[in-house]
Amino acid sequence: MIDIKLIRENPELVKENIKKKFQDHKLVLVDEVIELDRKNRDAKLNGDNLRSERKKLSEEIGKLMKANQKAEAEKLRQEVQKVNSAIEENEELEEHYSEEIKARMMKIPNIIDSSVPIGKDDSENVEVQKFGDPFVPKYEIPYHADIIDRFNGLDKESAGRTSGVGFYYLIGDIARLHEAMLAYARDYMIGHGFTYCIPPFMIRSNVVTGVMSFDEMEAMMYKIEGEDLYLIGTSEHSMIGRFIDQIVDESQLPITLTSYSPCFRKEIGSHGLEERGLYRVHQFEKQEMIVLCKPEESMEWYNKMWKLSVDLFRNLDIPVRQLDCCSGDMADLKVKSCDIEAWSPRQQKYFEVCSCSTLGDAQARRLGIRYKTKEGNKFVHTLNNTVLATPRALIALLECNYNEDGSINVPKVLQPYMGGKEKLIPVK
């Protein structure tokens, strides 16, 4: 949510930003906010005048009572009652205007950074650079579900009976490799000075609407029936929500955290769920990084964060590339965003494994997260990035470390988490 002062003072800038995101249907919201804001300020001024009038009348009543002029005092009391009724009506009007303004402000996208490429969807994202050489071995690499099957490592049939499409059992060495990746990601981030956290896996609606747009919420979140709780789609939501309505001291910034959680997503959309494999599922696990910092430090942290993911995947012997997300592919709260994509030697193309974003003060404004300075309280900037999300990262690791005989090389950084195993040998 942007500062309403920006809409008052520079509505054309806000409208131009909406056009850059190809959301022209939202242009009318800017004019509506301006008109509602004018009415709301008029109502506040009227309320101030009414309260001032009530104060004067009350003082006059006091003087009349001291002079024993009770009849005149009673007449003024009736006037005060009328003013009280007017104040009550005016306060209801103020509340109405405030709610209408907020409803529209929540839909107006954040101002994107000038470096963001302009485009309608992810097909217009821009490759920035590659890390590691993409390779294609002379032998065929099977589909990841078939690789895992040779280790008796995947059971989607049973998961279909217990939970439905989009769920899975991981078994044996594959399950162990899955957890080894997460354990390594945790220790990797701790080694880079981030504080490890395990957050609540359910959050209230006021936190949900504070960290994401309504469109995202409808497409992603599972609602707990009969309760004001949602299953998290990423631990970023719970981690940022931790600071709701808090004022942190300037000396505490930056706050750098890394969190583990399972993630639950509806995965509604044209892409659908993956019936046989693990690329798009309802449940997965993720190590996340979150930073709260001063506004002037946010772009520096943004660049540090995506580079951490790149280095982690290179440590897993996986080639990756960085893509700048275009304006139309970014969620409304984001200022700038990039994807890290892993190389798939089987498909001979890259696929998304990480997403890094700076959201400016949008989440902080919605959730009331500020920091205390000598000049007064200011809103923090919030950033988030995927350290590692599996099973997507698992798919990349299996393909990039697959041998012709069906065995899987265990990257050196994972061997301590795999009991020293250097290679996984298929059972069939």
- The CA distance from 363 to 234, in Å, is 15
Shared domain for 230 and 373, answered yes or no, is yes
Residue tagged 């131009």 (tokens)? 16
Region class of 245: left (phi > 0), else alpha (psi between -120 and 50), else beta: left
The answer to whether position 310 is within a domain reads yes
Residues 338 and 277 both lie in one domain: yes
Measure the CA–CA gap between 419 and 94, rounded to whole angstroms.
65
- The last residue of one of the domains, among 72, 105, 138, is 105
Please provide the size of the chain in residues: 428
What's the mean pLDDT in 200-213? 91
Q: Is residue 406 part of a domain?
A: yes
Q: Which of 105, 138, 165 is the last residue of a domain?
A: 105
Same domain, 178 and 47: no
Residues 355 and 239 in one domain: yes
Say whether pLDDT at 240 is over 70.
Answer: yes
Q: What is the tens place of the pLDDT at every residue in 85-141?
A: 999 999 999 999 999 999 999 999 999 999 999 999 999 999 999 999 999 999 999
Domain count, the chain: 2
- Calculate the average pLDDT of the chain: 93
Same domain membership, residue 201 and residue 60: no
- Whether the pTM exceeds 0.75: the reply is yes
Please state the rounded mean pLDDT for residues 232-243: 95
Give the structural domain span for 98.
4-105
Residue 273 has pLDDT above 70, yes or no: no
User: Which contacts (CB < 8 Å, 24+ apart) does range 89-98 have?
Assistant: 90/43, 90/46, 90/47, 90/50, 91/47, 93/43, 94/40, 94/43, 94/44, 94/47, 97/36, 97/37, 97/39, 97/40, 97/43, 98/40
Region of residue 109 (left: phi > 0; alpha: psi -120 to 50; beta: else) = beta
Label residue 269 by pLDDT band (50, 70, 90).
low
43 and 138 inside one domain: no
- Mark 294-310 as b/e (b = at least 16 C-beta within 10 Å): eeebbbebbebbbebbb
Share of the chain above pLDDT 70, in %: 98
Chosen domain end from 105, 137, 163: 105
Whole-angstrom distance, CA of residue 254 vs CA of residue 252: 6
152, 31: one domain: no
Specify the pLDDT at position 74. Answer: 84
The neighbouring-strand residues paired with 338 are 324, 356
DSSP-derived 3-state class of residue 174: helix
Residue 117 covered by a domain: no
Do the domain assignments include residue 380?
Answer: yes
**Domain membership flag for residue 364:** yes
Indicate whether 90 and 237 sit together in one domain. no
Q: What is the pLDDT of residue 276?
A: 80
In-domain check, residue 345: yes
For residue 45, give the amino acid letter.
Answer: L
* Same domain, yes or no: 212 and 258: yes
Burial track 101-121 (b if 16+ CB lie within 10 A, e otherwise): beebbbbbbbbbbeebbebee
Q: Which pLDDT value is given to residue 271?
A: 58
Can you give the CATH number for the domain in which 363 is found? 3.30.930.10
Arithmetic mean of pLDDT, 164-181: 95
Percent of the chain residues past pLDDT 90, beyond the cut? 83
Q: Look at residue 272 in the predicted model and tell me its pLDDT.
A: 58
Instruction: Say if residues 375 and 316 touch (Cβ distance below 8 Å).
Output: no
Phi and psi at 317, nearest 5°, equal: 60, 35
Confidence of residue 268 (pLDDT cuts 50, 70, 90): low
Quote the pLDDT of residue 79. 87
DSSP H or E segment with residue 356: strand 349-358
> Is the pLDDT score of 378 beyond 70?
yes
The contacts of residue 231 (CB under 8 Å, 6+ apart) are 201, 202, 221, 222, 224, 264
CA distances 325 to 122, 127, 202, 237, 301, Å, are: 7, 9, 29, 21, 17
Residues 127 and 274 in one domain: yes
Q: Who contacts 203 (Cβ-Cβ below 8 Å, separation ≥6)?
A: 229, 230, 232, 237, 238, 241
Give the model confidence (pLDDT) of 35-47 as tens digits.
999 999 999 999 9
Q: Side by side, which strands form the sheet with 195-197?
A: 126-131, 320-324, 336-344, 349-358, 381-390, 283-293, 255-264, 195-197
* Residues 52-93 pLDDT 10s: 999 998 888 888 888 888 888 888 888 889 999 999 999 999
Regarding whether 348 and 271 lie in a shared domain, the answer is yes
Name the band, by pLDDT with cuts 50, 70 and 90, for residue 270. Answer: very low
Looking at the fold, whether 66 and 165 belong to one and the same domain comes out as: no
Q: In CATH, what number is assigned to the domain containing residue 49? A: 1.10.287.40
Q: Is residue 147 part of a domain?
A: yes
Say if 274 falls within a structural domain: yes
Upstream peptide bond of 142 is cis (omega within 30 degrees of 0): no
**361 pLDDT exceeds 90?**
yes
